[in-house]
Amino acid sequence: MAKKIVKKGKWNFFMECQFKAPRGTQDILPDKVEILQRVELKLLNCARRFGFFEIRTPTFEKTDLFERLVGDSTDVVQKEMFTFCDRGGRSLSLRPEGTAGVVRAVLETGLVNEPLPLKLCYLDSCFRNERPQAGRLKEFHQFGAELFGSNFPIADAEIISLADCLFAELDVFDLTLNINSIGCLKCRRKYVEDLVEYYQKHLDNLCEICLNRLEKNPMRLIDCKNENCREISKNAPKILNYLCKECDEHFEAVKKMLDAQKISYVVNPYIVRGLDYYTRTVFEFTSDQLGAQNTICGGGRYDNLVGLIGGKPMPALGLGIGIERLLIIMEAQKNPMLIPQKECDIYIGSIGKRAVKVANLLALDFRKFGLSAQTDLVGRSTRSQMKYANKIGANYSCIIGDLEINEGRVTIKNMRTKKQFDILLADFLNEFMDEVCEGGK
């Protein structure tokens, strides 16, 4: 049971709560929500300039959608999904990532028949039942962008360029872009054979996770974070040496386009991504400020994904950005966007019953005009009301009492400059706006 004493003026409230938020989840309080909304709006607006429009899909889908698209051999499907049965006995799962639901929606709703390329983006809550750590919660938030209908390298470069512009828009710096090509199914067949053969010589030194991956998802072996496994992977076969002619030319073209756009990158043969659906280009943006789990953005091409759920084969690619990790980096870099901005255009205080009614009606006029106005709702004294106006960050304030009502005038105080001016109550809003505009505010 959580207990807390909260002091409020001359009263003490005894707060008692019998419940806590489930482990791996968090409450996002108003000051953080305001910051989050600003970040999200920047992401959506930047994506819109690239031609990406927002889509919203259900929080849960049929379990076999994720098993088929994400991969039944992945850690996500095997260990991390929140799965349940509805009353009809159908197996459903909370979405562990955003791409699968978008692909399903594109096919089911007929969006796939729109002029190509089709560009979609989303802001989703996702759910994975894994051990909570910094930037990785059981319920987390993700910005994603998906592009359907182009198999040309320019599309790969555009998705990476979008990510680069998103971070520039948010003034996030010191990120490293790692790129790789994991080829097509034809490339990987021989590569996986040689990879398994190599790792079978090191069974005694592999971690338990890698021993499991050796049978079910061999390519994930090379990006294991275990120190022993990382040492072994240094001499493992590299996928770039197995690319077919088409995949090799595709990757070279992507690199040339990134060079032309002056986007710096590192070719990293250990980037394979954690989901089965990736083909050819894969990439990650990483930060040294995130520790071992240093990926803030990941993505790549998944040309076989649409066909896996019954659609005609269609090339596609996308990216995902973890919002919690993004905020950790922004906080470490002291990003000014994370400074809460208290917004109140005017606080209209009151003394007496008549004044409370007048103040309330005046505040309503301001709100209808599109401005933020607050009044006293708890019976504070005049002094306490002015302290409150300052605390909520009001730009202007005034106190209305019987004298002001009888004389038909009220004194407005600029809370920043401390300057004051009088206006008529009968035309409060118009006179206020005139005075503020003349003052350059």
Residues 323, 376 within the same domain: no
State residue 12's pLDDT score: 53
- Let me know if residue 196 belongs to a domain: no
Q: Which are the contacts of 340, defined by CB distance < 8 A and separation ≥ 6? A: 31, 34, 35
State residue 276's pLDDT score: 66
DSSP label at 222?
G
pLDDT values of the chain reduced to their tens digit, one per residue, 441 residues: 444 544 545 445 555 778 898 888 899 998 899 999 999 999 999 999 999 999 999 999 999 999 888 876 666 777 789 999 999 999 999 999 999 999 999 999 999 899 999 999 999 999 998 877 766 789 999 999 999 999 999 999 999 999 999 999 999 999 999 999 999 988 888 988 999 999 999 888 888 888 888 877 888 888 787 888 888 988 999 999 999 999 999 999 999 999 999 999 999 998 887 666 788 999 999 998 876 678 899 999 999 888 888 888 899 999 999 999 999 999 999 999 998 777 899 999 999 999 999 999 999 999 999 999 999 999 999 999 999 999 999 999 999 999 999 999 999 999 999 999 999 998 898 888 887 776 544
Which residue has 């993700």 as its token pair? Answer: 142
Residues 252, 123 within the same domain: yes
- Let me know if residue 17 belongs to a domain: no
CATH code of residue 355: 3.40.50.800
State residue 122's pLDDT score: 97
- Gap between the Cα atoms of 386 and 400, Å rounded: 12
Which amino acid, 270? Y
Tell me if 346 sits within 8 A of 432, measured CB to CB.
Answer: yes
Helix, coil or strand: residue 400: strand
Domain boundary among 336, 360, 389: 336
The structure tokens listed for 60 are 């849960």
- Gap between the Cα atoms of 352 and 196, Å rounded: 82
Domain boundary among 312, 336, 360: 336
Residues 255, 397 within the same domain: no
Residues 353, 284 within the same domain: no
Residues 278, 420 within the same domain: no
User: CA nearest 250: which of 284, 299, 300?
Assistant: 300
Tell me if 82 sits within 8 A of 129, measured CB to CB.
Answer: yes
Residues 290, 376 within the same domain: no
Tell me if 161 sits within 8 A of 261, measured CB to CB.
Answer: yes
- Let me know if residue 423 belongs to a domain: yes
The structure tokens listed for 104 are 């399903």
Residues 171, 117 within the same domain: yes
The count of C-alpha atoms lying within 13 angstroms of the C-alpha of 201, restricted to the half-sphere facing its C-beta, is: 8
State residue 275's pLDDT score: 64
Residues 281, 319 within the same domain: yes
- Let me know if residue 320 belongs to a domain: yes
Residues 350, 324 within the same domain: no
CATH code of residue 177: 3.30.930.10
- Let me know if residue 370 belongs to a domain: yes
Domain total for the chain?
2
Q: Which are the contacts of 182, defined by CB distance < 8 A and separation ≥ 6? A: 188, 219, 239, 272, 273, 278, 279, 280, 282, 300
| Cβ neighbours of 196 (radius 10 Å) | 14
Helix, coil or strand: residue 83: strand
Which amino acid, 66? F
- Let me know if residue 52 belongs to a domain: yes
- Gap between the Cα atoms of 337 and 290, Å rounded: 19
- Let me know if residue 131 belongs to a domain: yes
Residues 363, 391 within the same domain: yes
Q: Which are the contacts of 366, defined by CB distance < 8 A and separation ≥ 6? A: 345, 346, 348, 372, 373, 429
Residues 273, 142 within the same domain: yes
Residues 294, 178 within the same domain: yes
State residue 165's pLDDT score: 97
Domain boundary among 311, 336, 361: 336
User: CA nearest 348: which of 379, 389, 407, 378?
Assistant: 389
117 cis-preceded (ω within 30 degrees of 0): yes
Phi and psi at residue 293, in whole multiples of 5°? -85, 80
First to last CA, the chain: 49
State residue 292's pLDDT score: 66
State residue 294's pLDDT score: 85
pTM: 0.86
Q: Which are the contacts of 357, defined by CB distance < 8 A and separation ≥ 6? A: none
User: CA nearest 202: which of 179, 181, 221?
Assistant: 221
Tell me if 303 sits within 8 A of 313, measured CB to CB.
Answer: yes
Q: Give the domain range for residue 399.
A: 344-438
- Let me know if residue 19 belongs to a domain: no
- Gap between the Cα atoms of 355 and 110, Å rounded: 59
State residue 162's pLDDT score: 98
